[in-house]
Amino acid sequence: EGLRGLWRGHGATLLRVVPYSATTFATFDTYKRLLRQASPALGDVEVRFVSGAAAGATATALTYPLDVLRARMAVNLDSRAAFDGYWRALRHVVRTEGLGALWSGARVTLLGIVPYSGLSFCLFETLKARLEDSGGGALKTHQRLGAGALSGLLAQSATYPLDVVRRRMQVDAERRRSELQVAREILRGEGVRGLYKGLSMNWV
């Protein structure tokens, strides 16, 4: 496959990342404002978590089919790409597996993105506020980078098993298994470590 094989499916990832990130950040402040208006008694941490979770869930629901295509494009079959183009991948999946296959694993993804996005935004906003209070002013670039890196690291580590289950469901949608069945298969065949396979690469 050559060097290009390491980037298989990357185009689909980029197609998803742009609308996903844009939707997430655009809706976070909106949800936060609406939540403060609807529930003034909620504390800052709770508002940040719920707003982040809602923003992540919204972005995921809108862009999930692109994530499925990205996963399918990255799979190898007989040392060749499973699909040689996004449009062909879309047509093949819909024709052979039905429209519902584009949402295979969506439930577990939403179950995972709620705590992940909630924790990520909550930790970042809270760390940023604490650093601003202790420093007495706006954060420097390296402080923002550090807060963002730590927030993402902790949130990703806490919710990674759900991400593993989601990817298994995406690339093997024809078996029509539930999230619990997939998790049990992983635990039975690979042990607890199987639920964290690839976590160190995500950290990088």
Q: Give me the mean pLDDT over the 33-52 stretch.
A: 94
Percent of the chain clearing pLDDT 70 (strictly above): 88
Residue 65: partners with Cβ closer than 8 Å, 6 or more residues away: 90, 102, 103
Alpha helices in 75-204 (DSSP H): 86-97, 106-135, 141-171, 179-190, 199-203
Q: Which residues pair with 172 in a beta bridge?
A: none
Residue 104 CA to residue 121 CA, distance in Å, equals 26
Task: Report pLDDT for 174.
Answer: 62
Mean pLDDT confidence for 17-34: 94
pLDDT at residue 77 is higher than 70: no
From the list 73, 57, 55, the residue with the least C-alpha distance to 121 is 55
Q: Considering only CA atoms, which of 113, 112, 133 is closest in space to residue 44?
A: 133
CA 186 – CA 149 distance, rounded (Å): 29
pLDDT bracket for residue 121 (50, 70, 90): very high
DSSP type of residue 138: P
For residue 81, what pLDDT band results from cuts at 50, 70 and 90?
Answer: low
For residue range 57-68, list pLDDT tens digits in order: 999 998 888 888
pLDDT of res. 54: 96
Measure the CA–CA gap between 27 and 157, rounded to whole angstroms: 24
Residue 145 has, within 13 A of its CA and on its CB side, a CA count of 3
Give the pLDDT confidence score for residue 60 in this predicted structure: 92
8 Å CB contact between 106 and 66: no
Cβ distance 102 to 68 under 8 Å?
yes
DSSP 102: G
Instruction: Name the band, by pLDDT with cuts 50, 70 and 90, for residue 198.
Output: confident
pLDDT, residue 168, reads 82
